[in-house]
């Protein structure tokens, strides 16, 4: 007896319309690996031309394509009596509900959300192909006119097609919700790690404060003793080396103190109350005059400068900005510093500290508020490069912003705001 060998059924044909070669190859490879016969076109027009000869059981189309997009391709397929039985899956970001309406208008059968998981897409393909046979048996087409976003839409579709589109829309929303929940979990993990990092920073700050400053103080202290007890026995070169050693120790101590201040001001809780910036500025001016009694500097401080914020932190802002102006006017014979307040475009107070000192190149303005960035060498002007970074951190914590304007050898002006609740401006006279 001879055995009858049954031929295996031919593979199901799927036509892809995708203008991205990379995306087309990826999708084609995925479908062929799962037993489908695939043809690809780089836009809707070419796909429409290929469809009659290729005879696909399904069309998968990108929405955004040149010459003919996915919506028009689906409309043309559904309008052709020889092709209208072919289901169409649109691949889209589907970020706007209007895309679902357009999908219904053009007769599309399903949506796949970009970026898609491969197994999800294969499941959509299988679902649409299986339900395609049911649609042919029970074609219950309806015509509906709806209004959406003040526009009239006329939809001709069968109930199963509408259900499929709505289900795919709901499924996309579920996917978004899952992704959002996962993002929230990831955010909680990051917050926990940030809290641990902050704790480590506090531990490090404590270590810096005690473990590093102690040996530096010892170096400077013993250097001071050596200079006074045996300084006359040292050669000129030895005295020079000792002087540089002590200066280096003091500079490192200032740098450590600046880092500690930056860390401290970044995490201290804010205490919001009325702050008299005029009084703070006058106190700071007096401190600098006592340090440099030989300096001749004209300082004009506007009366009645009030603000809402943390008194200690805002004192640090004024001290840093006025100190900056005092330092960079050192080479001016007629140095001048002005501290005041103007009204911004929205009427809110804009505080400023202006000087006629060394200034800076506006091309480098972004570097001003970055820690350790300096626009002048330490041989020109001393400093650590941390003061303005600290000021920016404090202003940001108050919900405000800070910026600067300047010109080389013609001075600089630093402006800052304190957010909607942080600025009060000046007292009424």
Q: How many CB atoms lie within 10 A of CB 240?
A: 11
Domain identity same for 314 and 384: yes
pLDDT at 320: 87
Domain identity same for 117 and 207: no
Is residue 297 within 8 Å of 336, Cβ to Cβ?
yes
* Residues 6+ positions from 17 with CB-CB distance below 8 Å: 40, 41, 42, 43, 44, 46, 47, 59, 60, 61, 62, 65, 70, 73
pLDDT at 221: 79
Q: What is the mean pLDDT of residues 289-293?
A: 86
11 confidence band (pLDDT: 50, 70, 90)? very high
Residue 332 phi/psi, 5-degree rounding, is -90, 130
Cα separation, 345 vs 295, whole angstroms:
37
% of the chain surpassing 70 pLDDT: 74
Structural domain contains residue 295: yes
Is the pLDDT at 157 greater than 80? The verdict is no
Q: How many domains in the chain?
A: 3
Residue carrying the six token digits 């404060």: 209
Q: What is the mean pLDDT of residues 12-20?
A: 94
How do residues 314-340 score in pLDDT, each as one tens digit? Answer: 988 998 899 889 888 888 888 999 999
Q: Rounded to 5 degrees, what angle do the CA atoms 258, 262, 263 make? A: 120
Structural domain contains residue 155: no
Averaged pLDDT of the chain: 79
Please give the model's pTM, rounded to 2 decimal places. Answer: 0.48
pLDDT at 153: 45
- Give the count of alpha carbons within 13 A of 37, CB side only: 9
Structure tokens at 387: 């003061």
> Chain centroid to CA 108: how far?
37
Distances (CA, A) of 319 to 63, 119, 166, 311: 59, 62, 63, 12
Higher pLDDT, 246 or 30: 30
Domain identity same for 236 and 283: no
What value does the CA radius of gyration of the chain take, rounded to a whole number of Å?
36
Domain identity same for 252 and 287: no
Domain identity same for 44 and 115: yes
Q: How many CB atoms lie within 10 A of CB 116?
A: 15
83 confidence band (pLDDT: 50, 70, 90)? very high
Give the CATH number, domain containing residue 282: 3.30.565.10
pLDDT at 138: 45
Q: Exposure string (b/e) for 87-110, b if CB count within 10 Å is 16 or more?
A: bbbbbbebeeeebbbbbbbbbbbb
pLDDT at 303: 92
Cα separation, 231 vs 256, whole angstroms:
28
Q: What is the mean pLDDT of residues 132-145?
A: 50
Is the pLDDT at 141 greater than 50? The verdict is no
Structural domain contains residue 352: yes
Range of the domain at 383: 273-426
Which contiguous run of DSSP H or E holds residue 326? helix 311-328
| Domain boundary pick from 267, 297, 321 | 267
How do residues 196-253 score in pLDDT, each as one tens digit? Answer: 777 776 677 666 666 777 777 778 777 878 877 877 778 888 878 888 787 777 767 7
Structure tokens at 343: 């009204």
* Mean pLDDT lowest among 13-22, 207-216, 342-351, 394-403: 207-216
Distances (CA, A) of 182 to 168, 177, 178, 282: 21, 9, 6, 53
Domain identity same for 261 and 279: no
pLDDT at 30: 93
Structural domain contains residue 163: no
Q: What is the mean pLDDT of residues 341-354?
A: 88
Burial tier of 277 (Cβ tally within 10 Å: 0-12, 13-18, 19+): buried
Give the β-pairing of 110-113 and 88-92: parallel
Domain identity same for 206 and 95: no
Contacts 24+ apart (CB under 8 A), 93-101: 94/169, 94/172, 97/148, 98/148, 98/149, 99/63, 100/165, 100/166, 100/169, 101/146, 101/148, 101/153, 101/155
Cα separation, 252 vs 269, whole angstroms:
28
388 confidence band (pLDDT: 50, 70, 90)? confident
* Mean pLDDT lowest among 358-362, 377-381, 398-402: 377-381
Structural domain contains residue 161: no
| Domain boundary pick from 240, 267, 294 | 267
Domain identity same for 117 and 210: no
Domain identity same for 422 and 297: yes
Structural domain contains residue 7: no
Structure tokens at 53: 């000869």
pLDDT at 295: 86
Cα separation, 360 vs 411, whole angstroms:
8
* Mean pLDDT lowest among 4-18, 26-40, 44-58: 4-18
Is residue 292 within 8 Å of 322, Cβ to Cβ?
no
Most confidently modeled range among 32-41, 87-96, 165-174: 32-41
pLDDT at 255: 67
Cα separation, 175 vs 274, whole angstroms:
49
> Chain centroid to CA 176: how far?
21
Q: Tell me the Ramachandran region of residue 326: left when phi exceeds 0, alpha when psi lies from -120 to 50, beta otherwise.
A: alpha
% of the chain surpassing 90 pLDDT: 25
């Amino acid at each position: 007896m001879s055995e009858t060998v049954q031929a295996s059924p031919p593979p199901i044909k799927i036509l892809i319309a995708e203008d991205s070669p990379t995306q087309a190859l990826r999708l084609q490879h995925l479908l062929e690996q799962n037993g489908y016969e695939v043809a690809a076109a780089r836009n809707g027009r070419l796909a429409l031309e290929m469809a009659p000869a290729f005879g696909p059981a399904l069309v998968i189309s990108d929405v955004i394509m040149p010459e003919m997009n996915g919506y028009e391709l689906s409309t043309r397929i559904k309008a052709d009596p020889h092709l209208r039985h072919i289901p169409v899956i649109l691949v889209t970001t589907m970020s706007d509900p209007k895309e679902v309406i357009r999908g219904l208008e053009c007769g599309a059968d399903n949506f796949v959300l970009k970026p898609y998981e491969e197994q999800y897409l294969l499941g959509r393909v299988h679902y649409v192909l299986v339900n395609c046979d049911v649609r042919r048996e029970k074609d219950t087409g309806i015509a509906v006119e709806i209004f959406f976003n003040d526009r009239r839409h006329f939809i001709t579709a069968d109930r199963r097609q509408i259900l499929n589109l709505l289900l795919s829309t709901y499924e996309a929303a579920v996917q978004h919700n899952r992704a959002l929940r996962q993002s929230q979990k990831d955010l909680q993990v990051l917050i926990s790690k940030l809290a641990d990092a902050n704790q480590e920073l506090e531990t490090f700050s404590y270590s810096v404060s005690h473990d590093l400053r102690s040996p530096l103080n010892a170096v400077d202290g013993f250097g001071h003793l050596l200079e006074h007890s045996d300084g006359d026995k040292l050669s000129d070169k030895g005295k020079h080396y000792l002087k540089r050693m002590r200066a280096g120790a003091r500079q490192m101590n200032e740098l450590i103190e600046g880092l500690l201040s930056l860390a401290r001001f970044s995490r201290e809780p804010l205490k919001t109350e009325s702050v008299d910036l005029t009084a703070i500025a006058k106190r700071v001016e007096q401190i600098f005059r006592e340090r440099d009694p030989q300096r001749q500097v004209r300082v004009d401080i506007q009366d009645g400068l009030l603000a809402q914020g943390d008194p200690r932190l805002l004192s640090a802002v004024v001290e840093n900005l006025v100190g900056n102006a005092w330092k960079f006017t050192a080479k001016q014979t007629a140095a001048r510093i002005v501290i005041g307040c103007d009204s911004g475009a929205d009427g809110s107070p804009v505080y400023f500290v202006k000087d006629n000192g060394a200034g800076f190149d506006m091309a480098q303005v972004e570097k001003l508020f970055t820690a350790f960035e300096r626009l002048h060498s330490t041989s020109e002007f001393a400093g650590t490069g941390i003061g303005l970074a600290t000021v920016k951190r404090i202003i940001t914590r108050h919900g405000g912003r800070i910026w600067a304007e300047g010109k080389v050898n013609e001075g600089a002006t630093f402006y800052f705001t304190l957010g909607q609740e942080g600025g009060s401006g000046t007292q009424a006279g």
